[in-house]
Structure 1
Amino acid sequence: MICPNCERSLLRKERTGNICSHCKRRYALDPKTNSLRLNDLRVRRITATLTDNGRVQVAPGQLWYALSRKRIREHEFAPGCAGGAFAGAGIVSLWAIFGEASFMLYVSGILLATAIGIRIARRLGAGRGIPPMTRGDFRSSALAEWQEVYGSLPPGVIDDSGRPWPRRPADAPPPNAVLVCPDPSIAAFLAADGLPDRHGIALVQGPEHVRALLPALPPRGPVLVLHDADAHGELLLRQLRADLSGRPVVDAGVSLRTIRGLPKAVAYRDPTRKPTAEEMGRLAALDEFTAEELKWIGQGWRFPLVGVPPVRLLAVLDRLARQIGRRVDAERRRAAEVGFMTWPGAAKDGPDPVGGR
């Protein structure tokens, strides 16, 4: 690997303890000691791309996905084990034959059966799409090591470990819309960019936070839903539409049908978030998904919001928020023209707010 400090090429023996033997300086990540094969230079390069060379800030979840895409594509069940088991079976068989150790044939058989089992498991998709390092492990190991060495997160990466959903001041003006976003990394990313304040949108975590804001919303002020393309995201959208009947609920999340047709959109599987039989039954009852889509979702496949390029996500939400702002402003102007927002008695000395009728 290349030392990120002096840019000298280092053999494994020249970087013991993550310290360069040439410049004697420490670095954070060694590709031989982490499952994503990360090094400091790659983290900096990917971070610069994500942040558009510092134009925007990103969150740890977005960086994790960008650094994991290649490994998710490559990852397989028991990497290297099948070949080793086949080779071991051959060596043990020769030993048993020429060394007249017939009992070793049993060992050879076990190794051969293991190799065949691994091959069959791979054919059936075992391990496919499962990240070699989870999002949580990325934070507690790779990012923790980075912070220990450099004293902060990579340039342009913000901390989302607190409560990233901004609290609205009591004297804040009524919002134009509510944006539901359960993902803390995306919430931190949007708050850091200033999108909620820029467009007068209340950013909240889930359905339980929406009802408290409904009285302050304009009559047709929409609820936007940012969600992953998975079982939980699809059910979240339907739950809000059922709970808020009569109010526009806009799907601002990742479209399952669209994302599955994009070759660069790398989906992954999270064994800890595989949908339950009850959740799959609810999705099937909607009659909105094909059998293939339901199978894909049921196997735990998902495409996360953190996988959407940050600059593109901001552009889409900015455009949507401007459209909503224009519509809400027009509704408020019409309401004012007919006296909807005129305090009783305020127009006694002026013209009748409803045209003198």
Structure 2
Amino acid sequence: MICPHCERNLLRKERPGNVCRHCQREYALDPKTNQLGLNDLRVRRIATGLTDDGRIRIAPDQLWYALSRKPIRDRKPDPGCAGAAIVGAVISGLLAGFGELPFMRYACGALLALGFGILIVQSMGLNKGFAPMSRSAFRDAVLLPWERVYRALPPGVIDEAGEPWPERAADAPPPNAVLVCPDPSVAAFLTADGLPERHGIALVQGPEHVRSSLLAALPPHGPVLVLRDADARGELLVRHLRASLPGRPVVDAGVSLRTVRALPKAVPYRDPLHKPAPEEIQRLTALGEFTEEELKWLARGWRFPLVGIPPARLLAVVDRLAEQAARRGDAERGKAAETGFMTWPGAAPGDGPEPAGAP
């Protein structure tokens, strides 16, 4: 690997304890001991690209996906466990035959079944799509060592310790739209880049936070924007909001399942923590909107997350939708003030665009 400090090419023996033998400086990540094969220079390069050369800030999970994308896509079956089980079965068989230990026959049979079972699972692709490192493990295995060495997170990466869904002040102007975003990393990213304040939108976590008082403060056609992952729960979230908010525009601003599956560069993954329950798949099936193949894909836990969208592109899309909502809201408030039904502070009369649509 290349030392991130003196840029010398280091052999494994030349970097004991993550310290360069040439410049005697410590580095954070060694590709030989990191599940993602990361080094400090690669993390910096990827972070610089995601932040658009420092023009925006990003959340840790956005960096996690960008660094995990290639390992998820290129992950090969690992015969190591199966091989170890088969070798153990051979040894058990020898002990049973020549060591006069008949009970080892049971161990031999169990290990053989285990080894060939692993091979079958891998050959069928049932283990594909899992990230080598989970989101939570990324923080412990990558970000904590980085902070210890450099006394800060990678360039442009925000600290998610605060509240990702900011509370609106009691004296704040009425919002132009409500943005529902269940992903705390994406919510923290949007908040850090000033989107809710810039466009006067209320950023909330889920449907339970879209209260009647919040909707009453919106202009008559103020939309509820939904920013969600392309997975089973994301599809259900949009439909739940539309059913529970009749007459209110609910705009799906998330990732389209069919669009993302058709993109050759999109890399979905599987997360055991987000695998849908059977009743959720039954609800999707009852909608009649998905093909059998799509339902199987969702049922196996495949998903494409919001954190997988390039941050600058995601911010631009949500910016555009929020700006449309703000312009429409100002126009509606201005018309209401002109007709005398109500007055809205800071409203400018005029015509607005059509309701915001999907990107």
Counterparts of 1:23-172 in structure 2, within 5 Å, are 23-81=23-81, 116-172=116-172
- Segments of 5+ residues of structure 1 without an aligned counterpart are 344-357
SS of 1:182's equivalent in the other structure is coil
- Contact kept in structure 2, 1:76 and 1:126, CA below 8 Å: no
**Distance change in 2, residues 1:8/1:171 (3 Å):** same
Residue 292 of structure 2 corresponds to: 291
| C-alpha displacement of 1:108 | 9.4
Task: Note the C-alpha offset of 1:333.
Answer: 2.0
TM superposition shift of 1:84: 7.0
Q: Quick one: distance in 1 between partners of 2:284 and 2:45? A: 40
Q: When the two structures are superposed, what TM-score results if normalisation uses the length of structure 1? A: 0.87
CA distance in 1, matches of 2:343, 2:61: 47
- Of 207-216 and 256-265, more deviation after overlay is shown by 207-216
Counterpart in the other structure of 2:183 = 183
Contact (CA 8 Å) 1:47, 1:156: kept in 2 or not?
A: yes
Aligned residues: 338
Contact 1:77–1:121, Cα closer than 8 Å, also in 2: no
Instruction: Please report how far the alpha carbon of residue 156 of structure 1 lies from its aligned counterpart in structure 2 after TM superposition.
Output: 0.4
Structure whose CA Rg is larger:
1
Structure-2 change in CA distance of 1:323 and 1:79 (3 Å): farther
C-alpha distance in 1 between matches for 2:7 and 2:109: 49
Instruction: Look up the match of 2:214.
Output: 213
The reply on whether 1:273 has 2:274 as its aligned counterpart is yes
The answer as to whether partners of 2:66 and 2:308 remain within 8 angstroms in 1 is yes
- Give, as a single letter, the amino acid of the residue that structure 2 aligns with 1:45: R
CA contact (8 A) 2:333 2:343 kept: no
Q: Is 2:29–2:146's contact at 8 Å kept on the other side of the alignment?
A: yes
State the Cα distance separating 1:41 from its structure 2 match. 0.6
Unaligned runs of 5+ residues in structure 2 are: 345-359
Q: What corresponds to 2:347 in structure 1?
A: none
Offset of residue 193 of structure 1: 1.2
- Partner in structure 1 of residue 353 of structure 2: none
Aligned to 1:349: none
Pairwise CA RMSD of aligned residues? 2.6
Alpha-carbon distance in 1 for matches of 2:128, 2:26: 35
Partner residue in 2 for 1:348:
none
> What's the CA shift for 1:141?
2.1
Distance 1:149 1:171 in 2: 43
Aligned to 2:264: 263
Which residue identity lines up with residue 172 of structure 1 in the other structure? Answer: A
For 2:78, give the aligned amino acid. A
Of stretches 208-217 and 28-37 in structure 1, the one that deviates more from structure 2 is: 208-217
